[in-house]
Amino acid sequence: MDEDFKTQALDSTLQSPSETLLSIRLLDFKTSLLEAIEELRIRRETEINYEEQISKIVVEKQELEWQKETLQHQTDTLRQQNKEAMASFKKQGKYQLAVETKEKEIDGLKEALKALQVNYYFC
């Protein structure tokens, strides 16, 4: 390895100015090429990371949509049950009111009957 370096160093001292300029341009080209390759590698890694993130976001979005649909269905079911319960409660209240009214009417008729019986026995 050291011998190659020494040979290259010796060769570079023996090069003509045009060869030196060519070597500089070649070195500059290699440097630019390596920078471009590194930039492309970084860009590819970034794109892969973005694709993974997008994939995760798509999956998360789908799961959230499923949860939304499930919750919407539960909400609709609960609304329907509440509506039915309220209708039943109103009917029960109407029946309760009717029962109370009839009981009062019966009590009133019993009182009237007692009053008539008392009048009948005393008259």
Does residue 13 have a pLDDT over 80? no
Does residue 8 have a pLDDT over 80? no
What is the residue whose two structure tokens read 């609304």? 79
- The structure tokens listed for 74 are 């539960």
For 7, the enclosing helix (H) or strand (E) is helix 2-14
Tens of pLDDT, residues 85-118: 999 888 888 888 888 888 888 998 888 888 888 8
CA–CA separation, 61 vs 67, rounded Å?
10
Q: Model pTM?
A: 0.50
Q: How many CB atoms lie within 10 A of CB 23?
A: 14
Tens of pLDDT, residues 29-83: 999 999 999 999 999 999 999 999 999 999 999 999 999 999 999 999 999 999 9
